[in-house]
Structure 1
Amino acid sequence: MSDTTTAPVDSVDRDETDLGVVDTTGDDERDETTFALFEGDEGRLDEPQRRALVALLRSTYVSARTHADEWRAVLDGEHQLRSRLNDLFLELHVDRDREVAWKRQARSESQRRAFPTLLRDVPYTREETIVLVYLRMRLRADPRPGLDQVVVDRSEITGHVAGFLPPSTDRTRDESRVAKAIDRLVTARVLVRTSDPDRFRVASVVEVLLPLEQLRELEHWLRDATAAGGEPTDGAGTSLPAEPTDTDDEGEPSA
């Protein structure tokens, strides 16, 4: 006579587990709430990745020096962050050698489709272009290893720009334009503040903004514009990515 006694529930579960039968019911639900940080949170990024995404959206760039934690999160979750930015018609660029990551507006390959834009490219003024070229040249001339090693003074920047401006009797106006150019590059973190308000560290991102080919073009443009002696105009079609939320201006340690 056969035994028809129903086995205890826990015994059945152990037998099925031993045979490799695994209950996956509810896995999807658990996955969807793994990274929940608040009630109703359906996000699929963990907290460090979310902070990195916000930093990328708010700032011109994220680097190992200016955003150490966010930079590590970019490296760890590059694919996930690129996907989220692509959802917003943005592209993620990561330069591991210079330890910097930044976003760009995505462009349609066919040029037939206009994507909605979150970013606005603002052309450099003449003064900003001169300052940027000078900073790029200073970086090229510095042989020291490591990133963000070059430090410049406000006075040396002002003096350099003055050599490219047309003759003017309104020195106050000229100095104001140079001061605004410096302030804008500080806001964009091309120049990084130190404990001295008149000294700045040159961010390695300037090498990304101005590759050598474009640097040479701008050098020619500056020489031609200076020889022509015209009034300051926008710089050679060059532009700096600028978002309304670029208000991040944390200080840097003393140089």
Structure 2
Amino acid sequence: MTTEQEHGSPEVGLWSGDIGTLHEQSRRALLEILKGPYLSGRQRPQLWAALIADERAVRSQLHNLFLELVIDRVDEFAFARKVRTTEIDVPSALRTERLTFLDTAMLLVLRQLLLAAPGERRVIVGQDEVYARLAVYRDGDEGAYLRNLNGAWGRMRDKFRVVHALGDNRAEISPVVKFIIEEEQVHALADVYRRVAGADDAETGATSITDETVAP
């Protein structure tokens, strides 16, 4: 019987009957990317190293699911998004997250703050600063507006992971926020939001954190 080992390739079976072709850490990196919203090299250095070492094999696995791998080597994060091609009708393998009006407005503000600090290794903002920039959309019941605002901030921090809490109501903006909303969407949304005040629970179109999303 001929085995991979006899051909000179290392065996990667992790359990009896395992026919996977990736090493354990590369599988964990792939799983982290599929779970979303992204894999951070700063937070998961071992998985990041495995991803870079096995990049071609991970890309192959994702292509089997009609997904492509996006890697930012400078800021060290990676995510999967639907393959972009006109050659075939590509099915969607990623779930989408429907964003509230304030979710989208907050993402635009965070993106603007990040891009306003080119070359900075870390961009840190105060929660109050972000809230102040969204004050133009305040309308109706003040308590309801604040609850919605706090809810949006919590989703940015805990669900989408585009801000990382540092204490004292300050947070670091993740560079992945650049990919949450596509460039062409940014201009269209910015025009709309300039004309809108309030509508704090209106919904935007669905945007996937992992399909540019997020990503993505």
Cα distance change, pair 179–231 in 1 and its aligned pair in 2 (3 A): closer
Residue from 129, 132, 136 that aligns with 2:111: 136
Cα distance change, pair 240–191 in 1 and its aligned pair in 2 (3 A): farther
Q: For 1:214-246, what per-residue CA distance to the aligned partner results, in whole angstroms no more than 9, with x for missing partners?
A: 4333221110223xx6564223x3613369xxx
Residue from 188, 193, 196 that aligns with 2:165: 193
Cα distance change, pair 30–172 in 1 and its aligned pair in 2 (3 A): farther
> Which residue does 1:150 correspond to in 2?
123
> What secondary structure, in the 3-state scheme, does the structure 1 residue paired with 2:203 have?
coil
Q: For 1:153-182, what per-residue CA distance to the aligned partner results, in whole angstroms no more than 9, with x for missing partners?
A: 2222223222223x31x1111111111111
Q: Provide the rounded CA distance (Å) in 1 between the counterparts of 2:188 and 2:72.
A: 23
Displacement of 1:183 after TM fit?
1.6
Gaps of 5+ in 2: 212-216
Q: For 1:173-206, what per-residue CA distance to the aligned partner results, in whole angstroms no more than 9, with x for missing partners?
A: 1111111111211211111233x27322100011
Larger radius of gyration: 1
Q: Provide the rounded CA distance (Å) in 2 between the counterparts of 1:242 and 1:99.
A: 16
> What secondary structure, in the 3-state scheme, does the structure 2 residue paired with 1:122 have?
coil
> What secondary structure, in the 3-state scheme, does the structure 2 residue paired with 1:92 have?
strand
Cα distance change, pair 242–142 in 1 and its aligned pair in 2 (3 A): closer
Residue from 66, 69, 72 that aligns with 2:49: 72
> What secondary structure, in the 3-state scheme, does the structure 1 residue paired with 2:209 have?
strand
RMSD across aligned positions (CA): 2.7
Does structure 1 conserve the Cα–Cα contact (< 8 Å) formed by 2:180 and 2:209? no
Gaps of 5+ in 1: 1-24, 244-255
Residue from 207, 224, 240 that aligns with 2:208: 240
> Which residue does 1:12 correspond to in 2?
none
Identity %: 28
- The higher relative CO (CA closer than 8 Å, separation ≥ 6) is in 2
TM-score, normalised on structure 2? 0.82
Does structure 2 conserve the Cα–Cα contact (< 8 Å) formed by 1:139 and 1:150? yes
Number of positions where the alignment pairs a residue of Structure 1 with one of Structure 2: 209
Q: For 1:126-164, what per-residue CA distance to the aligned partner results, in whole angstroms no more than 9, with x for missing partners?
A: 101111111111112224532xx1122222222322222
Q: Provide the rounded CA distance (Å) in 2 between the counterparts of 1:114 and 1:64.
A: 29
> Which residue does 2:214 correspond to in 1?
none
> Which residue does 1:203 correspond to in 2?
174
